[in-house]
Amino acid sequence: MLSLTFLNPENGKDALCLTIEMEIKKLPQGKISRLVNLSLTVILFLGLLWIGFSRVTDNSTNSGKIPAPQPGFLAPEFSLEDMNGETVSLTSLRGRPVLLNFWASWCPPCRSEMPAMQELFAEFENQGFIILAVNATNQDDLADMKRFVEGNQLQFPILLDQTGSAGNLYNIQSLPTSFFINQDGIVEDLVIGGMSEALLRIRVKALLDEPPARDGGQ
């Protein structure tokens, strides 16, 4: 039952009282069922229109155009010095598949994946593949790091992130973190944590097998 009372604003007394009585009956399950099914059937046909309407046009998925440390985006540009004091920039490696690995010598999973990385680097270097191992120098001991690199005979460039700027740019929250970047500079994959040799091999082969896009993006 619903009761509505309208007051006269001048004397505050009742001006009109309206009472509506309704009996709400619960619909039987069969009727609800038919109603739900009919609604869903209408939605099924509207869904077709919606799918057509929301078809992807050129800019609705902007992957490959904006720099961000995320698969599908342009890898953010940085320049760092390597152990010989030479400056290496990511843009200078455009046209080559890159494994960008953030690491530190005190981090056990970083240490355990390095031999496999060296093996793959040696195997695929002649196909243009390169590894940039960015050492989190701001939170590492330089002498320990050098000892580790020499002990494992790592031949790929070891870049020194002295201020943590590259780590911040790539939003590194845990070591190791690896970005697989294709020949067009697009991040293809992101792996947080240590990688097995099999995973490395599969990802690197996928990068090498991918033909470069003509426009430099997706």
Partner 1 sequence: MLPILQIGPVSLPLPGLIILAGIWIGLSLAEKYAPINHIKSTDITNLVFTCLISFLVGGRLGYVIRNWDAFSQDLAGIISRNLELFDLLTGILCALLAFIIVCQRKELPVWQTLDSLTPFFALISLSIAFSHLASGNAFGSPTTLPWAIDLWGMPRHPTQIYGILLSICILILIWPGKGFLWDPQPGVPFLRFLAITSVGVIIIEAFRGDSLLILLGLRRDQVIAWLILAASLAGLWTLSSKRENGT
Residues that bind partner 1 (CB under 8 A): 29-30, 32-34, 36-37, 40-41, 43-44, 47-48, 50-57, 59-63, 66-68, 70, 72-73, 116, 173-174, 189, 191-199, 201-202, 205
Rank residues 72 and 157 by Cβ distance to partner 1 and give the closer one. Answer: 72
Q: Are 16 and 22 in contact (CB under 8 A)?
A: no
Residue 131: CB minimum distance to partner 1, A: 17
Rank residues 5 and 39 by Cβ distance to partner 1 and give the closer one. Answer: 39
Rank residues 7 and 40 by Cβ distance to partner 1 and give the closer one. Answer: 40
Rank residues 79 and 112 by Cβ distance to partner 1 and give the closer one. Answer: 112
Rank residues 112 and 165 by Cβ distance to partner 1 and give the closer one. Answer: 112
Residue 44: CB minimum distance to partner 1, A: 6
Helix (H, G, I), strand (E, B) or coil at 53: helix
Residue 18: CB minimum distance to partner 1, A: 30
Report the C-alpha gap between 109 and 117 in whole angstroms: 12
Residue 191: CB minimum distance to partner 1, A: 6
Which structure tokens are listed for 217?
Answer: 């993006």
Strands 130-135 and 98-103: parallel
Residue 16: CB minimum distance to partner 1, A: 36
Q: Within 13 Å and on the Cβ side, how many CA atoms surround 26?
A: 2
Among candidate residues 212, 185, 184, 189, the one with its CA nearest the CA of residue 200: 189
- Report how far apart the first and last C-alpha atoms of the chain are (Å, whole number): 62
Report the C-alpha gap between 111 and 124 in whole angstroms: 21
